């Protein structure tokens, strides 16, 4: 079925995210038949839920890599381990699960009463947890960005692109799937159509024209925000400077809620002093 994830029979744990306006609110790890656990922004303690075995077949679920899942967990004050947690509480729920139409009990259990409702309710629940994220993790990327973004040749190579697409300067990190691995370059700037990134080393995988697999998870240091874009992309340009690799990423077609999520993130970054 198009757009529906299929649970692999590899014995590996699958990581999935549910998001509203591209902001993750539930992170699950699933492996049939023994692992079905999740945490949320409002309930960051692992909980067993057999209904999670149905999550990979929900069109709204986004399959993410381990580094991307670890970033989401870190934003909620949790360190993600490769093995599932033992002796965690269980949620006894109705079956079968319907993650597109949750009952009041399910919403209360996961602390996601806000989903599909007014955004103000989501902000009241999510903000205290997100503020617990340690922005110190972003320091290496921020330092690399501030030093490498001044390279004249790189600035000239993206001048025309920046004239046509409004961008906001950001310090953060982007977790991107490239071939069979996840790369985590520094995030330099972001717009509704793409972003500019930098790796403090040569990156043979990143070449102009390279197709990047979705999803893309973006971290912003200034206000500890994360957004998950379930979209593929393409390297629009690439240039090396002093053993570093600067490159632009053009997004594929974003869903309306993903575009809304980027707009909200950019507005927040502008309030924090970002610039285009």
* Domain end (from 78, 110, 130): 130
Alpha carbon separation from 182 to 68, 179, 185, 249 (Å, rounded): 8, 8, 10, 15
Total of domains in the chain = 2
Range of the domain at 109: 14-130
| Beta-bridge mates of residue 213 | 177
- Structural domain contains residue 195: yes
- Structural domain contains residue 196: yes
Does 240 lie in the same domain as 198?
Answer: yes
Position 189 scores a pLDDT of 95
Whether the CB-CB separation of 37 and 46 falls below 8 Å is answered with yes
Position 179 scores a pLDDT of 84
Does 155 lie in the same domain as 91?
Answer: no
Position 153 scores a pLDDT of 43
Does 202 lie in the same domain as 155?
Answer: yes
Query: Which ranges constitute the DSSP H helices of the chain?
Result: 66-75, 104-110, 119-130, 139-148, 152-157, 159-164, 256-271
Q: Mean pLDDT, 10 residues at a time, over the chain (276 residues)?
A: 45 95 97 96 94 94 97 95 89 81 90 68 36 40 45 43 67 92 95 95 87 94 88 94 87 96 89 58
- Structural domain contains residue 276: no
Q: What CATH number does residue 142 fall under?
A: 2.40.10.220
Rounded to whole angstroms, the maximal C-alpha distance in the chain is 60
Does 66 lie in the same domain as 181?
Answer: no
Rounded to two decimals, the pTM is 0.79
Cis check: omega of the bond before 20, within 30 degrees of 0: no
* Domain end (from 63, 97, 130): 130
Does 146 lie in the same domain as 111?
Answer: no
Alpha carbon separation from 177 to 6, 42, 81, 87, 233 (Å, rounded): 19, 28, 20, 33, 10
CB within 8 A of 235, min separation 6: which ones?
Answer: 206, 207, 208, 209, 210, 212, 247, 248, 249
Position 116 scores a pLDDT of 67
């Amino acid at each position: 079925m198009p757009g529906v994830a299929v649970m692999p029979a590899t014995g590996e744990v699958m990581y999935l995210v549910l998001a509203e306006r591209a902001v993750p609110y539930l992170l699950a790890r699933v492996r049939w038949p023994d692992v079905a656990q999740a945490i949320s922004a409002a309930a960051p303690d692992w909980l067993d839920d057999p209904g999670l075995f149905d999550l990979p077949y929900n069109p709204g679920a986004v399959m993410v890599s381990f580094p991307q899942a670890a970033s989401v967990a870190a934003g909620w004050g949790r360190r993600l381990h490769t093995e599932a947690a033992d002796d965690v509480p269980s949620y006894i729920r109705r079956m079968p699960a319907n993650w597109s139409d949750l009952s009041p009990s399910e919403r209360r259990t996961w602390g996601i009463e806000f989903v599909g409702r007014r955004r103000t309710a989501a902000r009241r629940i999510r903000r205290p947890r997100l503020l617990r994220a340690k922005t110190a993790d972003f320091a290496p990327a921020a330092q690399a960005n501030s030093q490498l973004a001044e390279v004249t040749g790189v600035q000239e190579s993206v001048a025309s692109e920046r004239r046509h697409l409004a961008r906001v300067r950001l310090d953060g990190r982007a977790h991107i799937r490239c071939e069979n691995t996840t790369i985590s370059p520094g995030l330099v700037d972001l717009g509704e159509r793409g972003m500019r990134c930098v790796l403090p080393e040569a990156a043979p995988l990143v070449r102009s024209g390279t197709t990047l697999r979705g999803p893309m998870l973006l971290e912003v240091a200034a206000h500890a925000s994360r957004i998950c874009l379930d979209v593929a992309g393409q390297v629009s340009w690439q240039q090396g400077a002093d053993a570093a690799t600067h490159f632009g990423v053009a997004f594929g077609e974003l869903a309306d809620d993903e575009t809304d999520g980027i707009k909200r993130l950019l507005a927040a970054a502008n309030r924090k002093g970002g610039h285009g």
